[in-house]
């Protein structure tokens, strides 16, 4: 995220946000790590299975158990710099009838699951804001579901960046000629280090708007829109 909430808490730098809101944000981040990421990875494995590849299913990746999906390094990076990763779901594209299309549909299933969870969470947040009696508990619950929506949408946006090995790259490679497609697959493992490095620098320097900023704006607009409908 823009700046790791855990880093702020450990450093004692609370000038940028109220401590209570920071704790709610951190709780929402933990929720996304232990619920949203497993759903995301399971969506990849399930989509591949439905398209003819059982590799992920046989590896136990159609599972909501977070420990089947989380990696230690990726989890630590997510906590301390706000950008991390889970263990990739194994996919054997030879099992798809149409290799490129099957791989692309398998890839897009993950971000789609996060968008659906984001919409569900912002809907709950809007219902709380519109109908719950004014109280501290209602405010905290609203913030919790709001940030769950933000983090899920940010996760979807990040994964849809069209750079290997992120999910969005599968949509680009869908139209690449085979000679470039398979060449790219050979080297894509190295791109993740470039992505993490650039993300870390951008989080610290702020050269470009981040996907979490964009997600915050979109979710805020959607919540306001839903509240106006409910009223």
**Taking the mean position of all CA atoms in its chain, how far away is CA 147?**
12
Please answer whether residues 42 and 114 qualify as being in contact, where contact means their C-beta atoms are separated by less than 8 angstroms. no
Rounded to an integer, what distance in angstroms lies between the CA atom of residue 114 and that of residue 107? Answer: 12
Q: Active-site residue among 41, 54, 188, 223?
A: 41
- Could you list the pLDDT tens digit for every one of the 231 residues in the chain? 333 444 544 455 555 446 777 888 889 989 999 999 999 999 999 999 999 999 999 999 999 999 999 888 878 777 776 666 788 899 999 999 998 899 999 999 999 999 999 999 999 999 999 998 888 788 889 999 999 999 999 889 888 988 777 888 888 878 777 777 667 767 777 777 777 676 666 666 555 556 678 888 999 999 999 999 987
What is the number of domains present in the chain? 1
Give the CA distances from residue 197 to residues 36, 68, 75, 201, in Å, rounded to whole numbers and listed in that order: 23, 26, 16, 6
**Taking the mean position of all CA atoms in its chain, how far away is CA 12?**
27
- Geometric angle at alpha carbon 198, from 154 and 193, rounded to 5°: 95
Q: Please tell me the pTM assigned to this model.
A: 0.84
One-character DSSP codes across 135-151: SHHHHHHHHHHHHHHHH
Identify the domain containing residue 95 by its residue range.
5-230
187-212: burial string, b at 16+ Cβ within 10 Å, e else: eeeeebeebbeebbebbeeeeeebbb
Note if 54 is an active site residue: no
Give the CA distances from residue 73 to residues 40, 44, 87, in Å, rounded to whole numbers and listed in that order: 18, 21, 10
Q: Which of 92, 81, 20, 28 shows the shortest CA–CA distance to 54?
A: 92
132-163: burial string, b at 16+ Cβ within 10 Å, e else: eeeeeeebbbbbbbbbbbbbbbbbbbbbbeee
Rounded to an integer, what distance in angstroms lies between the CA atom of residue 47 and that of residue 44? Answer: 5
What are the residue ranges of helices labelled H in 52-135?
A: 55-58, 72-81, 99-131
């Amino acid at each position: 995220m823009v700046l790791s909430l855990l880093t702020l808490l450990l450093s004692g730098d609370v000038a940028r946000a109220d401590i209570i809101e920071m704790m709610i944000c951190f709780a929402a981040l933990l929720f996304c790590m232990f619920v949203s990421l497993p759903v995301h990875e399971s969506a990849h494995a399930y989509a591949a299975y439905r398209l003819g590849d059982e590799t992920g299913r046989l590896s136990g990746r159609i599972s909501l158990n977070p420990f089947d999906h989380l990696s230690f390094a990726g989890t630590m990076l997510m906590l301390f710099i706000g950008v991390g990763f889970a263990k990739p779901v194994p996919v054997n594209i030879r099992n798809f009838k149409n290799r490129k299309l099957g791989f692309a549909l398998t890839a897009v299933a993950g971000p789609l699951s996060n968008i659906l969870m984001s919409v569900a969470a912002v809907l709950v947040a809007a219902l709380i804001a519109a109908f719950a009696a004014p109280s501290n508990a209602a405010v905290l619950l609203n913030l919790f579901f709001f940030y769950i929506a933000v983090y899920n949408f940010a996760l979807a946006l990040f994964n849809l960046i069209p750079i290997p090995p992120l999910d969005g790259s599968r949509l680009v490679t869908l139209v690449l000629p085979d000679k470039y497609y398979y060449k790219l697959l050979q080297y894509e493992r190295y791109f993740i280090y470039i992505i993490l490095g650039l993300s870390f620098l951008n989080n610290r320097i702020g050269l470009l708007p981040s996907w979490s900023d964009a997600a915050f704006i979109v979710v805020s607009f959607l919540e306001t829109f839903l509240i106006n409908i409910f009223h």
